[in-house]
Structure 1
Amino acid sequence: MRAAVCGSPIAHSLSPVLHRAAYAALGLHGWEYDLLEVDEERLPAVVASLDAGWAGLSLTMPLKQAVVPLVDEVSDFARAVGAVNTVVVTPRGTGAPGRAGVHLHAENTDVHGLLAALAEAGAHRVERGAVVGGGATARSALVALLRAGCPRPVVVVRSAQRAGELREVAARLGGEVEVRGWADLPSVLDADVVVSTVPAGASEAVAQVLGARPGAGPLLLDVVYAPWPTPLARDWGGPVVGGFEMLLHQAAAQVELMTRRAAPLAQMRAAGLAELRARAAASAAAGARPRPNG
């Protein structure tokens, strides 16, 4: 069986390490999990090529919404969130109609990953929650806070269009959201939990506003896991949860959907942390090497 993570850029992804560790621990010999560099233009061809030899796909940016019209079924939950990160491939049966005899079911495991990561940090229930950013992962973060009991999460976005989309997500789930502009970014420090969904490249700018403040700040969950720590995580004035924990738990949920077996979380965590340490050591060694003149 085959599975893969798709996105662009994708070379940095830790998903293959996590899924391969799960397959090894489960004794699923012959199962493969690969990296596929796929943008929105190439995605339809990749989805159309899926057959009974595939178990599923993991999806990252920029594909979490682009995949929706390409599958046979989207779960009610993923449709409400407005973001998909998992496609599960199942056989339709011999001679059944459909693409290559398979059924493609789309799901969202990001919300599960966020909730599990927060719970491990002691945030089982959130009274005041805030999200920084307005993309597909921000939608999942908003839903996670609503599910953790936050009555009215705050989301800080740059785009007015994103504001409307986030209000629609909250309404579909029977909740409310308070959307604020970027000028109100410091207001997230009033929350108990802050989820940053900004990419690594934007972390420095956010850190300049929110970081290096005296006293104990709110719990930060930064969804970035590489490079780590991000400038925001490094300068944060309170407890920090890294994106690896979210990635681990959403990947474990994907393993269970694709293999129909309980995910070996301990083995997946050990493999992922070992890979991150190896990457950090390689990066440090590369930085320490003398550079040639010119």
Structure 2
Amino acid sequence: MKKLFGVIGDPIEHSMSPSMHNELFQVYGINANYHAFHVKKENLSDAVKGFKALGFAGFNVTVPHKEAIIPLLDELDPLAKAIGAVNTVVNENGNLKGFNTDGSGFVKGLLERISMLSEKKVLIIGAGGAARAIYFTMAKEGPGLLDICNRTVTKANLIVKDCPYQVTARALNIEEAEHQLEIYDLIIQTTPIGMAPDIERSPISIHKLKSGSFVSDIIYNPLETKLLREAGNKGAEIQNGLDMFVHQGALAFKKWNGIVPDIKRMKDKVLKQLGGLSC
């Protein structure tokens, strides 16, 4: 019997997950299909019930459902519970268990470009589910400073307060972060601002960005956001969200199928579909 997998989000048309996972199923001889489902907030509960009723083996969760889906699941992995967001669900004999592979996927991709994170001064932009996952995972790596900024500072404050790891940290508003941007070695952008089709927006002004810093944007469509383009022009090293995307996808694939997939193949597949070169 064919296994069913999927991804839910709003919007979802931009997702490369179906092509990436369906190719992996072919490569590893797994009788399965992966589909994208456009699910609005008011339909989330019905969608989860439908996946369970249809016997989906697992599914991914993207914006804006990563936090809202938690009460609809039967069980949470301890890390997902601490983060307060889920991006991967596994159906274990009718029991829907939520995991979070965002933070681990991001750090795995980042460490391919940066040799170590200790002592670095880091700024995270945004305070949603992905920001929370990345913040907690980064805190575990022991950076010298781990600030977080958001238009609603109370949300950023909650992430700092809830973090289970000791780290020097501050919650800032966007303007405060902009005014001291030159102190950061690493800036991580976690919001949807700049994602296709609204590609001419940027979440923060980088007028004070220092040359030689590293700027990572978790968006992968487009491959170069306005933020990354401007940062590159100012002499920063840049990274789009493709590395995080394939690594978190690989972690999900392993949870569903018990197989560690070929990361290079996954990345090449997404790049081919996007028609560009990664940065």
Quote the Cα distance in structure 1 between the aligned partners of 2:186 and 2:140. Answer: 13
Cα distance between partner residues in 1 of 2:53 and 2:277: 34
Q: Hey, what does 2:271 align to over in structure 1? A: 273
Aligned-partner SS, 1:87: strand
- Please give the per-residue CA displacement for 1:87-140, whole angstroms capped at 9, x wherever unaligned: 10121xxxxxxxxxx011100000111111111112432422110112111112
Counterpart position of 1:33: 34
Change (3 A) 1:141 1:208: closer
SS at match of 2:143: coil
Structure 1 residue 162 and structure 2 residue 163: aligned? no
Q: Does 1:200 align with 2:201?
A: no
Greater relative CO, 1 or 2 (CA 8 Å, sep 6+): 1
Give unmatched runs, 5+ long, in structure 1: 92-101, 281-294
Report SS of the residue matched to 1:115: helix
Q: Residue 125 of structure 1 corresponds to which residue in structure 2? A: 117
Matched, 1:239 2:237: yes
Which residue does the alignment assign to 2:248? 250
CA contact (8 A) 2:5 2:57 kept: yes
Secondary structure in 1 aligned to 2:64? Answer: coil
Alpha-carbon displacement from aligned partner over 1:232-281 (angstroms, at most 9, x marks no partner): 1001031111101110100000000111222222221221111111799x
8 A contact 1:82–1:169 mirrored in 2: no
Q: In the alignment, is residue 144 of structure 1 matched against residue 146 of structure 2? A: no
For 1:231, the aligned partner's letter is K
Q: CA-atom RMSD, angstroms?
A: 2.3
Alignment-derived partner of residue 49 in structure 2: 48
Structure 2 CA distance, aligned partners of 1:146 and 1:222? 18
Instruction: State the SS of the aligned residue for 2:81.
Output: helix
Whole-Å Cα distance in 2 between the matches of residues 209 and 2 of structure 1?
43
Alignment check: 8 A CA contact 1:52 1:89 kept = no
Distance in 2, matches of 1:163 and 1:174, equals: 16
Contact 1:52 1:90 in 2 (8 A): no
SS of 1:42's equivalent? helix
Q: CA deviation at 1:160?
A: 2.9
CA distance in 2, matches of 1:271, 1:107: 25
Query: Quick one: distance in 2 between partners of 1:222 and 1:60?
Result: 16
**Identity score, percent:** 26
Conserved 8 A contact 1:85-1:108: yes
Distance apart, 1:152 and its partner CA: 3.8
Q: Give the secondary-structure state (helix, strand or coil) at the position aligned to 1:54.
A: coil
Between 1:193-202 and 1:256-265, the stretch displaced more is 193-202
**Which structure 2 residue ranges, 5 or more long, are not aligned?**
none
Equivalent residue, structure 2, for 1:185: 177
Residues 78/141 of structure 1: CA separation in 2 closer, same or farther (3 Å cut): same
| Structure 2 residue 202 is the aligned partner of structure 1 residue 210 | no
Q: Does 1:259 align with 2:257?
A: yes
Count of residues in Structure 1 that have an aligned counterpart in Structure 2: 267
Radius of gyration: which is bigger?
A: 1
Deviation at 1:158?
1.0
2:222 to 222, 227, 235: 227
Does the CA-based 8 Å contact 2:219-2:240 persist in structure 1?
yes
Structure 1 pair 21/63, CA: closer, same or farther in 2 (3 Å)?
Answer: same
Question: C-alpha displacement at 1:213, in angstroms?
Answer: 5.6
Which has the larger helix fraction?
1
Equivalence for 1:78 = 80
**For 2:42, what is the secondary structure of its paired residue?**
coil
The 1:20–1:138 alpha-carbon spacing in structure 2 relative to 1, beyond 3 Å, is same
SS at match of 2:66: coil
- Change beyond 3 A, Cα 1:64–1:48: same
Aligned to 1:290: none
Q: Is the 8 A contact 2:117 2:141 kept in 1?
A: yes
1:197, 1:19 → 2: CA distance?
23
Deviating more after overlay: 104-113 vs 14-23: 14-23
CA contact (8 A) 1:80 1:173 kept: no
Give the match's secondary structure for 2:205. Answer: helix
Distance across 1 between alignment mates of 2:210 and 2:251 = 38
